[in-house]
Amino acid sequence: MAKRSFRQPAPVPFPRSDEKGRPGPLGARAGLIFSVYDWGMPQSSPQSLPNSLFPSRDAAAATPAPAVRGAFLLVTCQGGAEASLCGRQEAVLPAVSKAAWRRGMVTFRLGDFDPPDDFFPDLIYARAVVRSLGQVSGASDHERVAAVRTLVTHTAWDTIHVWHRDRRLESQTDSPVDPLAVRALLLESYGKPASLPQAARPGDLVLNCLIDAADRWWVGWHRAHTPTSCQPGGMHQTELPGDKVSRAWLKLDEAIATFGVDLRPGQRAVELGASPGGACQRLLEAGLTVVGIDPALVDDRVAAQPGFEQWRMRARDVKVKNFRSFDWIVADMNIDPRSTLESIGRIVTAAGVKPAGIIATLKLPDWSRAKELPGWLDQFRAWGFSPRARQVSTGGREICVVAIKSRRK
Ligand SMILES: C[S@@+](CC[C@H](N)C(=O)[O-])C[C@H]1O[C@@H](n2cnc3c(N)ncnc32)[C@H](O)[C@@H]1O
């Protein structure tokens, strides 16, 4: 089994305070007008996330940002997704211009644009979005750490993120560099405890060190805020826990965290393309009852769970009336995105089928197909859903779409 023109939301006006007057998430800088978050939903939307979900620390107590802020944004993505990332940047962030790129990384010249400290535009293909301060090189890790200290005069960091440009390239780099060892040296150099957790807290000021090649690191900073920007390199946990039956568990786990998907115990979900069952496992863990549809068998450990049932057939062979009781339609079939959309469309446009949301993986045979994403998202809208898309870090060459039923006006 194989495992495995854009109607763009305008920059989202983000309130400087929430409904109770608590400070908004923009950090300590005054006068910031907007921030575009990775869920990319207008605040008035029923799907927008309350500030309280990702609370910022008290803005007044926040560690001040560097005085030298940097003239470039450094954005990382999955290797191969650079052109898709730039296409998206042109649509949502035309104020910046592409500068340098390497596999898994693009830099953008900011010009007059000075984004907020916790800037995280809805670039779909972006993992980390960092204010670049430049590159360092040297003959050893110790020399490069010294070069970081020379390049970056700011010294007050809440934490430090160190990661490889693209995890899939790690084994191909000319000499292996251990990000944890580099992080330990940097933490020591800045007088931080070696035990400092890898994940930042919302509001933390983060020094970033992107290992480009053994002897070349990019250095930058950002203020953490969203689940993605709290993780080193914007990457979700990589290790699949031993009791999970497939990496789809991780993908769904990341999608739930990234989009704040509100799964509620007692809800019912159906997954099209369920075998071997990692995503169903994640849904069961959230307290849902789950039907998995797939001609291939679901792993016994999932099949044996109370609350799980498999319909062993192709999605198109299930009568549409059988989808009436589901709150969530999940799709993860290894077929062309158009066929996935056809399957979902047949279900969600049928009489009596009223899911609260759709979580779909659109698998791209090649990156050029990403150009079709705007049209695919329009289909979700035409069905009455508000879609958000993300190339999740635990996924392959695919895009995760979470689409929530739109509220009637
Ligand atoms: C990437 S795997 C799914 C992984 C799964 N979501 C998990 O959590 O482990 C893709 C699956 O889609 C199934 N599939 C492909 N076409 C399908 C169809 N028309 N109807 C149902 N399942 C389909 C395949 O049999 C395969 O098991």
Q: Whose CA is nearest to atom 23 of ligand 1?
A: 273
pLDDT at 237: 83
Higher pLDDT, 42 or 206: 206
* pLDDT tens readout for residues 308-367: 999 999 999 999 999 999 999 999 999 999 999 999 999 999 999 999 999 999 999 999
For residue 278, give the ligand 1 atom closest to its CA: 8
Give yes or no for residue 273 CB within 6 A of ligand 1. yes
Q: Which residues of 227-261 are buried (b: 16+ CB within 10 A; e: fewer)?
A: bbbbbbbbbbeeebeeebbbbbbbbbbbbbbbbbb
pLDDT-derived band at 213 (thresholds 50, 70, 90) equals confident
DSSP β-ladder status, 385-390 and 398-405: antiparallel
Q: Whose CA is nearest to atom 6 of ligand 1?
A: 274
Q: Whose CA is nearest to atom 11 of ligand 1?
A: 273
pLDDT-derived band at 171 (thresholds 50, 70, 90) equals low
Distance 331 CA to ligand 1 centre (A): 8
**Among the listed residues 1, 22, 126, the one whose alpha carbon sits nearest the alpha carbon of residue 75:** 126
Give the residues across from 130 on adjacent strands. Answer: 74
Indicate if the pLDDT at residue 6 is higher than 80. no
DSSP β-ladder status, 289-293 and 357-363: unpaired
Higher pLDDT, 165 or 228: 228
Residues 6+ apart with CB under 8 A from 270: 290, 291, 292, 293, 323, 326, 328, 329, 330
Give yes or no for residue 393 CB within 6 A of ligand 1. no
Give the phi and the psi of residue 56 in degrees, each rounded to 5: -85, 155
Indicate if the pLDDT at residue 409 is higher than 70. no
pLDDT-derived band at 21 (thresholds 50, 70, 90) equals very low
Query: In the sheet that 159-164 helps form, which strands lie side by side, from edge to edge?
Result: 97-102, 105-109, 72-76, 129-137, 216-223, 205-213, 159-164
pLDDT-derived band at 253 (thresholds 50, 70, 90) equals very high
Q: Which residue among 252, 275, 284 is best mutated to probe the pocket of ligand 1, counting the most ligand atoms within 8 A of its Cβ?
A: 275
Indicate if the pLDDT at residue 16 is higher than 60. no
Rounded average pLDDT over 367-394: 97
Q: Which residue among 245, 246, 282, 294 is best mutated to probe the pocket of ligand 1, counting the most ligand atoms within 8 A of its Cβ?
A: 294
Q: Whose CA is nearest to atom 13 of ligand 1?
A: 273
State which H helix or E strand residue 257 sits in. helix 248-259
Rounded average pLDDT over 10-33: 31
pLDDT at 37: 42
Rounded average pLDDT over 387-403: 97
Give yes or no for residue 278 CB within 6 A of ligand 1. yes
Distance 309 CA to ligand 1 centre (A): 15
Rounded average pLDDT over 144-151: 96
d(CA 122, CA 88): 9
Distance 332 CA to ligand 1 centre (A): 6
Rounded average pLDDT over 110-138: 96
Give yes or no for residue 295 CB within 6 A of ligand 1. yes
CB of 218 closer than 8 Å to CB of 104 = no
Domains and CATH numbers, the chain: 51-234 (3.30.2130), 248-405 (3.40.50.150)
Instruction: Write down the pTM of the prediction.
Output: 0.86
**Among the listed residues 146, 141, 158, the one whose alpha carbon sits nearest the alpha carbon of residue 66:** 158
Give yes or no for residue 3 CB within 6 A of ligand 1. yes
